[in-house]
Amino acid sequence: MRIALASDHGGYRLKEFVKSLLQSLGHEVLDFGTHSEESVDYPEYAAKVARAVARGEVDRGILCCGTGIGMSIVANRFPNIRATLCHDEYTARMSRLHNDSNVLCMGGRVLSPDKAEAIVKIWLTEKFEGGRHARRLSKLEEIEKAVCEEGGLDEAS
């Protein structure tokens, strides 16, 4: 796969680890930074990856910050992004089976390298189950459309 990768300073070491892992697995990696542990603002880096995934320039994205929380908040503001913050093998697996995750978010201050490797490998290989989960994702798209294009903040859905 062609995978976009980015981090802030809190996720920099994990991002470098994940980059090596992805390359060793034969994936093409686009590294959008950051390139050191100097303090930066995570929204800028999350936006670069989310935009590339939303535009179809890459197959998937991976984002690392201290907790993974900030990255997931930003990425999920983009259309067609299903960014999932995963802490373990179970959340990684479910994020693919049920949520068709296209952006994986992880916390560099939360995960050991071994745990991150297990998460990434599962997230890369598990397949979306479809069925009732596809129905739920289409509802998600309807909500996004109503909120973004029709100013649907009054809807109770």
The residue ranges that bind ligand RB5 (CB under 6 A) are: 8, 10, 42, 65-67, 69-70
CB of 150 to ligand RB5, least distance (A): 30
Long-range contacts of 134-137 (CB under 8 A, 24+ apart): 137/82, 137/99, 137/100
> In the complex with ligand RB5, which residue's Cβ is closer, 76 or 97?
76
Which residues, in sequence order, are CB contacts of 16 under 8 Å at separation 6+?
Answer: none
CB of 130 to ligand RB5, least distance (A): 32
CB of 107 to ligand RB5, least distance (A): 7
> In the complex with ligand RB5, which residue's Cβ is closer, 10 or 61?
10
> In the complex with ligand RB5, which residue's Cβ is closer, 65 or 111?
65
Query: CA–CA distance from 116 to each of 36, 88, 107, 121 (Å)?
Result: 20, 8, 9, 9
Catalytic residue list: 65, 98
The burial of 139, by beta-carbon neighbours within 10 Å (0-12 exposed, 13-18 middle, 19 or more buried), is given as exposed
